[in-house]
Amino acid sequence: MKAQRRAARYIGYLFAAALAAPAIPAPAADRVIIGNVSRTVEQLPNYAATDKGFFAQENIQGDVVLIGSTDTLIQALIAGQVHVAIVDPTPAINAVERGATLKIVGGTVPIAAYTLVGCPKYKAIKELKGTTLSVVSLVSGSTIFLREMLKQEGLELGRDYAIIQGGPTTQRLASLSNCNMSATMVLGGDLPRARELGYTEIARLHDYVPNLQFHSFIVDSRWAEANAALLVRYLKAMVRAMQWAHAHKEEAAELVTRRTGIPLKYARVNVEEYLAQGIISRDGSVNREGFQRLIDLMGERLYKQKPYPPPEKYLDMSYLRRAHQELGMTPGR
């Protein structure tokens, strides 16, 4: 009995000592600075990665900064002020052709879902002749898409219309209020706001140029090489966030409302449409066909002659393949 009592006291001493001992701190989370242009439905995977704990599970602190211009965002990426830019790949392609060491390592939105909206007196593209349109950036993907849409209707930039850089969507929509600007391109999540303001839906990009790769993960290859394991963990978190969104549509819509301010009744419609049509990716892959189509649209102004470069000049899918392998996934594209 004495031995048992001594053993019990010893165990008690050990337990008390364990409680008194200072806790070993968890390793500090690795910071990844993520650049976006604005708060939109298209950023749903980013919101989910943070709010549903996927970044935390990969020991990542994902800090999002909003930079209202795609050109400025890419400049911040090149300068090392941002680690990952989630934006359309057009400005990255332009930057690479000027010598930047950028790579597209995956994507969240494999299909660009733009609509051209205008102040109420404009109802068709041909009516925009002689007007000025507002764009987010002079060389962004949406501007290239806009020029192609108008070109197919016989309108040429400089001859038949002008464009002015108007900043984020809210500013561009405001510029339509008195018809100071005739029209602008908006994404699906901004359509409800445009409708409430009384603006007309002039044309949809899909009817002119279908299946274009849109929001992509863009990194500086030097940062990626120096932080390969971190980048793979980041992509794992984002892929899991995409899968969560597809499996939890109602909760995803509520998340979009909290993060963007879009009323829930509209967010539900947007999220349902985006997920059903594959506008939000399931696995982070890049739509190679859509990427090649984007290169072809840029071709006349960017490259000296044909053939234009293949997507592989700008893509590096090795990090995403590693992320898929660690998640036990077979990529869908």
pLDDT in tens, 138-196: 878 899 999 999 999 999 999 999 999 998 888 999 999 989 899 999 988 888 889 88
Length, in residues, of the chain = 333
Sheet strands (E) in 69-169: 84-87, 102-107, 114-118, 132-135, 162-165
Q: What is the mean pLDDT of the chain?
A: 89
Please determine, for residue 6, whether its predicted confidence score (pLDDT) is greater than 80: no
**Residue 8 confidence (pLDDT) above 60:** no
CB contact at 8 A, 134 and 181: yes
More confident residue, 25 or 262: 262
Q: What is the pLDDT of residue 331?
A: 53
Output the CA torsion sign for 330, 213, 205, 193: positive
Q: How confident is the model at residue 25 (pLDDT cuts 50, 70, 90)?
A: low
* Rounded Cα gap, residues 42 and 112, in angstroms: 10
Helix axes of 249-260 and 264-276: crossing angle, nearest 10 degrees: 130
Listed range (44-48, 170-174, 301-305, 314-318) with the worst mean pLDDT: 301-305
- Tokens 């590096």, residue? 316
Whether the predicted pLDDT of 90 surpasses 60? yes
Q: What is the DSSP letter of 30?
A: E
Q: For the chain, how big is the Rg over CA atoms in Å?
A: 24
Q: Which two tokens stand for residue 273?
A: 């449409």
Encode pLDDT of 214-228 as tens digits.
999 999 999 999 999
Residues 6+ apart with CB under 8 A from 285: 106, 107, 110, 317, 320, 331, 332, 333
Least Cα distance to 245 among 115, 57, 54 occurs for 54
Longest dimension (CA), the chain: 102
Q: At 172, phi and psi to the nearest 5?
A: -70, -40
Is the pLDDT score of 1 beyond 60?
A: no
Nearest to 165 by CA among 152, 187, 147, 184: 184
Dist CA 74 CA 83 (whole Å): 10
Unique residue bearing structure tokens 């968890």: 26
